[in-house]
Structure 1
Amino acid sequence: MSIGIPFIALILLTLAVVLISVLVSMARTVRLPVDDGLRALRTTARRALLARVIGLVAGIVAAGLIADTGALGRGPMLAAPVLGLCLILGTLAGELAAKPPGGPIRDASLETRRIRHYLPRFSTSLAATLSVITVGLLTVTVATASADDLGRPGRTLSTFSPDGMVRQSTSPWPGWFYAWPILAALAVALVLSALVLHRIVRRGRPGLDPATRAVDEAQRAHSARVVTAAYGLCVALPLSGIALIAAGTVKNSAYLPDWSMTAPPALVGVAFLAAGSAIWYLAELLSSPKVKVS
């Protein structure tokens, strides 16, 4: 019974991710007037996809190693950011592998491309919201954390009597011991994402005809979606774990003020929001724009 429920949940989760990714792919179809001059773009797309796959495989391996070696639960909490970082690095490698347009005669267009032109509005807003929630939640948990019995700072939630004696200490609590590795990983992910997006915007076009421009724009937008989804996973999965751990610790703690009992339901709601966001970002990673000739 205990094994069957997680297995069924994993199957349902996988089906949900695949279904959403298929629906997203169907909704993002690029139609072209002709099927000409797309060889360079297809080559670029294959190289970018290969780099992302390599980044994903490396991320899975690295996340597994981190999950097994991290002390006192920090490993599993950092596994998702490590996976997202490797995927972002793979995307950056794919963009760097894209050869600039060349030849004896080159065309140039007078256009202004900005990062915001390619960022997916919903995924970007959701990632920003999750980031703010993560920083805010960790700020509160760090401020209320205490050291454990071995003196490691930020591992327990303690309540004190009026004379300053500890009444109860409950762990784990996402204080500084867990917060700083997560915040450091998210900062690195944010910087890498900005570098990839800068590269997406700055690389040259392989051609100026309408068909080539249309596919090139679709590929840039898709790369931006991959980066946003990878960063979103870096935020969503740790936030879900942090919120659930904090909810359980508050619920199991005695001598807390009565108003603190409203925190566990709110934290569980944050965990569900983060978990649902992770499903969406996984679907975004699996989706791909379709190119059809009208």
Structure 2
Amino acid sequence: MADADLGTTAPASRVPVDRYARWTGLIVGALVGRWLSSLDHGDGVLYAIPAFGLCAVAGVLAGDALTPPAQGTVRTAGLAPRRVRAYVPPRVTWLLLALAGALVVLLVVAGAIASPDDLGHAGRALTATCRGVTQSATPWPGFHYGLPMLSSLAVATAACGWSLRRIATRPGDEQSRRDRSLAVVAAWGLVVSASLLGAASTASGALMDISCDGTAGTVANAVLWPLATLALATVPWTLVTVCSPRASWGRRSAAGDRRRRALRRPGSGERR
């Protein structure tokens, strides 16, 4: 059964906590990503991307946990249980789910055809042979890079799914639930789109360095380029949404003040 909705939002003194937590997650992610990108002979950017996304997710979830739920005038609530899908943006969510599916398929296929590099690191290179000549290109998003990406996606999915469920079922007003669900979806989308951008662009670059890929390489690039472009277009939206919580706190607080004044007004027809 759904809990009773509450009329106002968190106290103004606690509002900046959400924004500070999100920015802290992004800053920590940038620092960790910069350190990781220097690893693996300078090719650690494929480690840095999922790490940055996970830090962004942690910042959003921390901000949500540190911000108290809305408190104020109690309104009646329906008997139907609240569902997560009622608060997430449907079109964006479906787009991100499709990108996540494409990322998983790409990493699994890339891992299956990957080969060791010159240093013997498994799953880090793409090797092809034609006319008696063997060509190799690296980095390649095989399991050397793919497993950390898949692990970060699994962790982010579990954490964000739990958070969305928590937001949908706890007390609060409807708009607050939608705003916070949007932020969580955007943080998860940052992990998905940034990882897909890194994996698709890296795979495409490796294929273009090899002349023995033939028709298969041409078809693969025809798929990878649109995926990378779509991911590139999605990343800025996720970043902006994570960085800028919706500035509706003031409007809601003002609405709460008006409701409280109406309760104190004689003959208003509302219960005290």
**TM-score when normalising by structure 1:** 0.72
Please state how far the C-alpha of 1:166 moved relative to its aligned partner: 6.8
Aligned to 1:116: 85
Three-state SS of the structure 2 residue aligned to 1:155 is coil
Matched, 1:136 2:105: yes
What is the letter of the counterpart of residue 52 of structure 1? R
2:211 pairs, out of 250, 254, 268, with: 254
Question: CA shift at 1:134, angstroms?
Answer: 0.5
Give the aligned residue type for 1:239.
L
Alpha carbons of structure 1 residues 235 and 158: separation in structure 2 relative to 1, 3 Å? same
Matches within 5 A, 1:66-81: 66-68=36-38, 70-72=39-41, 75-81=44-50
Structure 2 CA distance for partners of 1:259 and 1:281, relative to 1, 3 Å: same
- TM-score normalised according to structure 2 size: 0.77
> Is the 2:10–2:69 Cα contact (8 Å) retained in structure 1?
no
**Greater RCO (CA < 8 Å, at least 6 residues apart):** 1
For residues 96-245 of structure 1, the aligned pairs below 5 Å read: 96-99=65-68, 109-111=77-79, 112-160=81-129, 167-205=134-172, 216-245=173-202
Does the Cα contact within 8 Å between 1:142 and 1:179 map onto a contact in 2? yes
Determine the structure 2 residue equivalent to 1:273.
230
Q: Which amino acid aligns with 1:95?
A: D
Deviation of 1:153 (Å): 1.0
Q: What is the CA-CA distance between 1:125 and the residue it aligns to?
A: 1.0
Q: Displacement, 1:61?
A: 2.6
* Distance in 2 (alpha carbons) for counterparts of 1:192 and 1:74: 28
Decide whether aligned partners of structure 1 residues 224 and 43 sit closer, same or farther in structure 2, where only a CA change above 3 A counts.
farther
Q: Structure 2 vs 1, CA of residues 43 and 218 (structure 1 numbering), >3 Å: closer, same or farther?
A: farther
| Per-residue deviation, 1:98 | 3.9
Equivalenced residue count is 245
Counterpart CA distance in 1 for 2:91 and 2:41 is 35
- Picking from 61, 85, 103, the partner of 2:54 is 85
Q: Structure 2 CA distance, aligned partners of 1:55 and 1:113?
A: 29
Aligned counterpart for 2:24 among listed residues 51, 54, 60:
54
User: Equivalents in 2 of 1:268, 1:100: separation in Å?
Assistant: 43
Q: Distance in 2 between matches of 1:167 and 1:54?
A: 47
Matched position secondary structure for 1:168: strand
Q: Could you tell me how far apart the structure 1 residues matched to 2:167 and 2:43 are?
A: 33
Look up the equivalent residue of 1:174 and give its one-letter code: P
TM-align CA RMSD: 3.0
- 1:80 and 1:170 map into 2 onto residues whose CA distance is 21
1:77 positional shift: 1.8
* 1:176-224 residue CA offsets vs partner (Å, 9 max, x unmatched): 111111111111111111121122123223xxxxxxxxxx322221111
Alignment CA distance shift 1:166-1:180 (3 Å): farther
The residue identity in structure 2 corresponding to 1:185 is S
1:89 Cα deviation from its structure 2 partner: 1.9
SS at match of 2:246: coil
Greater CA deviation, 280-289 or 150-159?
280-289
**Does the residue aligned with 1:275 lie in a helix, a strand or coil?**
helix
Counterpart of 1:288 in structure 2 is 246
Closer, same or farther in 2 for the Cα pair 1:189/1:265, shift >3 Å? same
Q: Per the alignment, do residues 79 and 260 of structure 1 end up closer, same or farther by CA in structure 2, a change over 3 Å counting?
A: closer
The alpha carbon displacement at 1:246 in A equals 1.3
1:159, CA displacement in angstroms? 1.9
Is the contact made by 1:88 and 1:227 (CA closer than 8 Å) also made in structure 2?
yes
Flag structure 2 segments of 5+ consecutive residues without an equivalent. Answer: 1-6, 256-272
